[in-house]
C-alpha cells in the first residue's frame, strides 16, 4: 500500500494536496510525451490530464503499455499531478482500476466519470486517500455532487459546451460562486480548453487549474505588436552597431 495511504489511514491526514492552487495552474491535456517535455522546458507545466481518446491518439493500447506510458508521463511531470482515467463504469471495477493506477506513482490522480457508480467511487477513493478528478462535468449540479462525494478536482468541459451553442465559461463562474459560498475545497479544473482566450476567461471566472493543448499555451505568446516591436528594436541596434 502507498505510504501516503497508510499515513492517511493511521493519522487521519486529509488526502488533499497541501499547496493552495493560487494562482491558476497550467496542466497539459495530452498523452504526447514530446509536448509534455516542451511545456516542462518552457517552465510553465504544473500537471497533465489524459483521457482514453488522448491515449488512443498516441497509439497507446493494452494494460502494460498504458501503465508504462502513465509512468513515463509521471516521470516527465515530476511533482505535478497526472490525471489517469479509468475505463470501467461499474463501482467494483473502477475501484480495482483506480487502485492500480494510483500505484503507478505518487502524483497520479484517478479520473472518474460523472456517473452514479463514479460518485460512489469518488467517495471510496476519498476515504482511501487516493486523489480523484471527476470528469465529463457539464452542469453545476454535477460539480456539487462530485464535491460532496469528496472529489479533489472537478472538470467542467468548456469547449464541448460552447460546441452546443451554450456558454461554457459561465459554468466555471457558477461553480466558482457556489464552491466559494459553500466552502467546498474541490478544485475547479477548466477542461476542454481550445484557445488562449479560453485560458484568460477561465482565469477571470475563478478556475483553479486550466488544462489545455500545448498550442493554446503557445498561442498566449502571440501578438503582432510584439513581433513588429522586436523587429524594430533589433534593426535599430544593428544599424548603430554594425558588425
Which one of the listed residues 19, 68, 71, 111 is annotated catalytic?
A: 111
Which residues in the 50-69 window bind ligand G3P by CB under 6 A? 51
Work out how close the CB of 188 gets to ligand G3P at its nearest, in angstroms, rounded to a whole number.
Answer: 13
The interface region with ligand G3P, picked from 65-73, 97-105, 118-126, 152-160 by CB under 6 A, is: 152-160
Short-list 212, 217, 200, CA closest to 157: 212
SS3 string, 92-132, reads HHHHHHHHHHHCCCCCEEEEEECCHHHHHHHHHHHHHCCCE
Shortest spacing between CB 129 and ligand G3P, in angstroms: 24
Q: Closest CB to ligand G3P among 4 and 58?
A: 58
The Cα 137–Cα 134 span in angstroms is 7
Q: Which residues from 153-212 bind ligand G3P, rule CB under 6 A?
A: 157, 159-160, 191-192, 211
**Measured CA angle at 234 (ends 230, 237), to 5 deg:** 140
Closest approach of ligand G3P to the CB of residue 190, in Å: 9
Q: CB-wise, 159 or 219, nearer to ligand G3P? A: 159
Nearest distance in Å: CB 122, ligand G3P: 17
By CB under 6 A, name the one of 49, 132, 142, 186 that touches ligand G3P: 49
CA distance 157 to 139: 9
Torsion angle (degrees, nearest 10) of CA 24, 30, 32, 37? 0
Residues, the chain: 243
132 binds ligand G3P (CB under 6 A): no
By CB under 6 A, how many residues form the interface with ligand G3P? 9
CA distance 80 to 96: 24
Q: Taking a C-beta distance cutoff of 8 angstroms, is the pair 142, 171 a contact?
A: no
Q: Is 111 a catalytic residue?
A: yes
Residues carrying an active site annotation: 111
Catalog residues that contact ligand G3P under the rule CB under 6 A.
29, 49, 51, 157, 159-160, 191-192, 211
Amino acid at each position: 500500500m502507498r505510504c501516503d495511504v497508510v499515513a492517511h489511514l493511521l493519522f487521519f491526514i486529509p488526502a488533499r494536496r497541501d499547496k493552495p492552487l493560487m494562482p491558476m495552474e497550467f496542466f497539459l491535456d495530452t498523452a504526447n510525451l514530446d509536448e509534455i517535455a516542451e511545456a516542462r522546458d518552457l517552465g510553465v507545466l504544473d500537471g497533465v490530464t489524459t483521457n482514453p481518446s488522448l491515449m488512443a491518439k498516441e497509439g497507446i493500447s493494452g494494460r502494460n503499455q498504458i501503465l508504462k506510458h502513465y509512468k513515463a508521463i509521471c516521470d516527465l511531470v515530476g511533482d505535478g499531478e497526472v490525471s489517469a482515467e479509468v475505463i470501467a463504469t461499474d463501482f467494483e471495477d473502477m475501484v480495482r482500476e483506480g487502485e492500480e493506477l494510483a500505484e503507478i506513482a505518487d502524483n497520479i490522480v484517478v479520473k472518474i466519470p460523472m456517473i452514479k457508480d463514479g460518485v460512489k467511487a469518488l467517495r471510496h477513493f476519498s476515504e482511501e486517500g487516493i486523489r480523484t478528478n471527476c470528469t465529463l462535468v457539464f452542469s453545476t449540479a454535477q460539480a456539487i455532487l462530485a464535491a460532496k462525494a469528496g472529489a479533489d478536482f472537478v472538470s467542467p468541459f468548456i469547449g464541448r459546451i460552447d460546441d452546443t451553442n451554450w456558454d461554457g465559461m459561465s459554468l466555471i463562474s457558477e461553480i466558482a460562486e457556489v464552491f466559494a459560498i459553500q466552502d467546498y475545497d474541490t478544485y475547479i479544473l477548466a477542461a476542454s480548453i481550445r484557445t488562449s482566450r479560453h485560458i484568460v476567461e477561465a482565469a477571470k471566472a475563478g478556475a483553479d487549474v486550466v488544462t489545455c493543448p500545448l498550442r493554446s499555451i503557445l498561442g498566449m505568446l502571440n501578438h503582432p505588436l510584439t513581433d513588429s516591436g522586436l523587429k524594430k528594436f533589433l534593426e535599430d541596434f544593428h544599424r548603430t552597431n554594425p558588425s
